[in-house]
Amino acid sequence: MTGADVFPAIAATWPPIGVQTIGPFLIPTPDEGGNRVRAARLADPHVDSALEHEIAAAERVMEDQGRAPLFQVLDTQSGLKSAFDQRGYIARDHTDMLLIPAEEIAAPPPPVTAFDIWPPLAVQAEIWDAGGIDRARRNVMNRVSVPKTSLFGRIADQPAGSAFIALHKDMAMLHALEVAPTVRRKGLAVHMMRAAAQWAVENGATWLCVLVTQQNEGAQRLYASLGMKPVGSYVYREKEGGMAQ
């Protein structure tokens, strides 16, 4: 399993509003739901490069959309990396793709600790909002067409956590895990991850995957403690001073 194998599950479980194909690239429709649904990427994640005129054509489409060019590049796409280096693009938000066989950590949570529920409750939206997962990102969840659910976490007799999980083929992707700051480091995130893996197994998934930036040390520790391993990474490439959000 490699990062290129994970990429289709990312696209299916956190999809853009729409895409157009420009040469070897997929260009998303402009959206406020974050870089994951805004960045252009190679349609075939196993391809490692693109021609100069193909990159230029993708840039023009995004500029015509009224935004700065933004690309998502896998660590294995060395030719594409070199091309963007030459074009003056910077790299940011280095993100690891972490994977584990779902059955290895699947376990029912303690009573009244974690529930799968769709649509999410209003209190979950409040938890997400407080963590920066705004309405635009929740709109991404709403348009996911593959099997999906949310996870609602409780601890100390209060609502405290929320997450989103969706299934693409044999891979369950967990997105938007948020635990209220006042109850962190009390075990709720672990219970929610095990509940996510339980949902994944019950819905036919073999793998559970999460995406986490390399600088997010707390999340990296959580996932490492569960035995999740990196299978690849990606970065966003943009020109210094670009408009990407």
Residue-wise pLDDT for 77-109, tens only, equals: 999 999 999 999 999 999 999 999 999 999 999
Q: Could you please report the per-residue DSSP string of 139-161?
A: HHHHH--SSEEEEEEEETTEEEE
pLDDT of residue 113: 95
Please, which pLDDT band fits residue 239 given cuts at 50, 70 and 90?
confident
Tell me the per-residue pLDDT of 117-168, one tens digit each, with 9 for 90 and over: 999 999 999 999 999 999 999 999 999 999 999 999 999 889 999 999 999 9
* Integer angstrom CA distances of residue 128 from 138, 152, 195, 198, 219: 9, 11, 18, 22, 16
pLDDT of 156: 87
Report how far residue 243's alpha carbon sits from residue 238's, in angstroms, rounded to the nearest whole number: 9
Residues 221-230: pLDDT tens digits? 999 999 999 9
- Per residue in 193-205, pLDDT (tens digit) is 999 999 999 999 9
Residue 23 DSSP symbol: T
Q: Is the predicted pLDDT of residue 34 greater than 90, yes or no?
A: yes
